[in-house]
Structure 1
């Protein structure tokens, strides 16, 4: 009985994530009659973004995430959170402050349509294997899907910069980032620094 309860608790963050997905379906992406995004307009608007995020969203600087290939919904919601203060960053918050809803939709559509380019990463096989085991233990793929390709509001982390993944996991654990409906905070609070480095090595190694 105790084991069954433990398994149930372990799956709860994943269940909450699915509830969050359903809740987000009341957003502009699921409402009838909303304006469609314009990827071509997004390409023009993205010229400012590529200074940090790289051509077509393929960042080469590990401080900035790769946006290419993320879902349009995820990109839009993150931009909206930066604009409305639910997520904060000294570089992104000022950039998002002046964006309109149409700007965010266009940018999201543009970057989602781009192909993510592989990032050179020298993986430590021991860390990669430890990260794989930890990912299975905490059921990461229940939300991020197999291969960590992401879905809907859940980001793609496969092939993301190692340094960026480490920072995000640390921020979730320390509650410096809380715009996730509590799911990642719940998962990350039990992670050690070693766990975070291992998970980051594993996901960064995926392409």
Structure 2
């Protein structure tokens, strides 16, 4: 009987996060992020992603990748360089808890339809889930700016972004330029 309780306790300990993120500290640490990503992560600049409501695990992994050089950007790489693991977890937790604001985007209905068909064909929802809401380390795409989606799909296709374990680069290499435009219209139309 005792062995059973010990095993259950060990199993529970393994499933608990090693670090409990501090949302108040995350808000304080995220202040520098507001300049590009907007107040509370609601970017108003189409080239910068909306972080509000994004998966904490995904945000953490991207910050870690910028810090370690697996993903590079002239602005983000230096911003992440001095962040500790706790800093990244706090910032990620803070943004994940923020409410995303609706982005006004006038999508072309014909392109949305073609983008939906391409998303269905390439099984986007298999990883990004229904409504492209994301999960764990797979980002939430709905509610993102058209320009940001377009740029990231292009970067994956051109292999200038490769911090994806090969999944997105494999999909993106099959996309035509028109497919990328259509997918960007479809995704930017989701909220």
Q: Deviations over 1:87-113 (max 9, x none)?
A: 000110000001111100100000000
Question: Are residues 1:50 and 2:31 paired?
Answer: no
Question: Are residues 1:138 and 2:117 paired?
Answer: no
Moved beyond 4 Å, runs of 4+: 30-33
Question: Are residues 1:197 and 2:181 paired?
Answer: yes
RMSD: 1.1
Counterparts of 1:57 and 1:137 in 2: how far apart (Å)?
31
Q: SS of the residue aligned with 2:105?
A: coil
1:157 is matched with which residue?
Answer: 141
Counterparts of 1:53 and 1:68 in 2: how far apart (Å)?
9
Aligned length: 178
Counterparts of 1:113 and 1:159 in 2: how far apart (Å)?
15
Counterparts of 1:143 and 1:122 in 2: how far apart (Å)?
26
Counterparts of 1:130 and 1:33 in 2: how far apart (Å)?
41
Match of 1:174 among 145, 155, 158: 158
2:110 is matched with which residue?
Answer: 126
Counterparts of 2:172 and 2:158 in 1: how far apart (Å)?
9
Quick check: which has more Rg, 1 or 2?
2
The TM-score, its normalising length taken from structure 1, stands at: 0.84
Q: Deviations over 1:1-33 (max 9, x none)?
A: xxxxxxxxxxxxxxxxxxxxxxxxxxxxx7656
Q: Deviations over 1:23-72 (max 9, x none)?
A: xxxxxxx7656221101100011110001000100000011100000111
Match of 2:71 among 77, 87, 90: 87
> Which consecutive residues of structure 2, in runs of 5 or more, have no partner in the other structure?
1-13
